[in-house]
């Protein structure tokens, strides 16, 4: 199989785009897809100070690498979640990556914020760790970006992630989530930093191939608590449809984004949390509520 662009030997076939590409042209293709997402969804402007949330996995490291190559002013951010074994390995992968690029790394530890890691917090409240983890990460990313004057927070969500989330929201008819799912969550208040997902037009397989070919050393392990996540069968279902009809995932997601404007916007009215001042639809934000509940468990744990 030859490269569609230059006749060199192809290293990958991408059926959704009816393309076969050599290493160099594939790496350019990936950068073009990200540039297209940035332009189409008006994600970023050149010159913005951008904070990229790095987990140490392939998607976030690829997002950082690509934005840096496209000339954006990027700094790295990592949250140590306090998950035994996994968090240490994640931090190692992130440190090695930023060192290689001479990039700035900002590090927060959940333990410094809550007095304990995510797993211990979840245990005390008898909740699954994943139900706290997403909220804690979003809160800390936003707060850090606000305090340090960043104008955007970038995450590495790819097309398979977004497609699986969309399918899940549709299967449960969560119209509130549907109206908020987008590659750009704009800043509607000075304390709410915009969130962008520049990899949404790249499949998980394309991101993995990018990391192999660039190369980028990422942490291949998944969080031990993510096993059995509902997104896994949803990704598999979409990839089965993709096999039978290449381009399905892109049409599903892009079609949704086009139709999204006509969905009723169910955003509750945002106000400032009475404790920390960051935005919430309640009197107290979920993060401050979590801290209060954990404080209340202190006596019982002793």
Residue 267 touches another protein, criterion: CB under 8 A:
no
Q: Which part of the chain contacts another protein (CB under 8 A), choosing from 38-46, 73-81, 229-237, 258-266?
A: 229-237
> Which one of the spans 77-85, 114-122, 238-246, 282-290 is the region binding another protein (CB under 8 A)?
238-246
By DSSP bridging, strand 152-154 and strand 194-196 are: parallel
Handedness of CA 201, 203, 207, 213 (dihedral sign): negative
Select the span of 45-53, 96-104, 237-245, 257-265 touching another protein (CB under 8 A). Answer: 237-245
* Dihedral angle sign, alpha carbons of residues 215, 221, 225, 226: positive
Q: Which is nearer to another protein, 23 or 180 (CB)?
A: 23
Helix or strand (DSSP H, E) at 295? helix 286-301
209 near another protein, judged by CB under 8 A = yes
- If the CB atoms of residues 194 and 235 are measured against another protein, the closer one turns out to be 235
Residue 205 binds to another protein (criterion: CB under 8 A): yes
Q: Which is nearer to another protein, 13 or 293 (CB)?
A: 13
The least distance separating another protein from the CB of residue 181, rounded to whole angstroms, comes to 20
Q: Which two tokens stand for residue 228?
A: 């059995």
Q: How far apart are CA 161 and CA 163, in angstroms?
A: 6
Q: Which residues touch 286 (CB under 8 Å, ≥6 apart)? A: 135, 139, 280
CB 250 within 8 A of CB 163: no
Single out the residue of 6, 8, 13, 107 in contact with another protein (rule: CB under 8 A).
13
Cα dist from 55 to 31, 76, 81, 133, 248, whole Å: 21, 10, 10, 13, 28
- Toward another protein, which CB reaches closer, 95 or 205? 205
Which parts of this chain interact with another protein (CB under 8 A)? 1, 10-13, 15, 20, 23, 58, 160, 203-205, 208-209, 212-213, 220-222, 227, 232, 235-236, 239-240, 242-243
């Amino acid at each position: 199989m030859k490269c569609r662009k230059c006749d060199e030997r192809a290293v990958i076939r991408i059926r959704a785009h009816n393309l076969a590409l050599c290493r160099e042209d594939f790496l350019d293709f990936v950068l073009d897809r990200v540039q297209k997402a940035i332009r189409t969804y008006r994600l970023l402007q050149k010159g913005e100070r951008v904070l990229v949330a790095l987990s140490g996995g392939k998607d976030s490291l690829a997002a950082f690498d690509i934005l840096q190559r496209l000339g954006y002013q990027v700094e790295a951010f990592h949250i140590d979640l306090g998950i035994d074994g996994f968090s240490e390995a994640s931090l190692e992968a992130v440190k090695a990556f930023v060192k290689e690029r001479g990039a700035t790394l900002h590090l927060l530890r959940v333990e410094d914020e809550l007095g304990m890691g995510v797993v211990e917090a979840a245990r005390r409240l008898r909740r699954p760790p994943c139900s706290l983890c997403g909220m804690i990460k979003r809160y800390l990313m936003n707060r850090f970006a606000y305090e340090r004057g960043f104008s955007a927070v970038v995450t590495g969500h790819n097309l398979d992630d977004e497609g699986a989330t969309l399918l899940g929201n549709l299967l449960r008819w969560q119209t509130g989530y549907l109206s908020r799912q987008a590659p750009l969550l704009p800043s509607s208040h000075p304390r709410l930093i915009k969130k962008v997902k520049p990899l949404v037009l790249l499949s998980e397989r394309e991101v993995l191939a990018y990391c192999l070919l660039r190369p980028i050393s990422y942490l291949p392990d998944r969080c031990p608590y993510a096993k059995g996540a509902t997104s896994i069968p949803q990704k598999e279902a979409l990839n089965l449809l993709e096999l039978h009809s290449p381009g399905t995932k892109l049409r599903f997601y892009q079609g949704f984004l086009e139709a999204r404007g006509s969905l009723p916007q169910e955003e509750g009215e945002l106000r400032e949390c009475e404790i920390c001042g960051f935005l919430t639809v309640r009197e107290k934000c979920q993060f401050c509520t979590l801290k209060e509940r954990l404080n209340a468990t202190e006596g019982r744990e002793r």
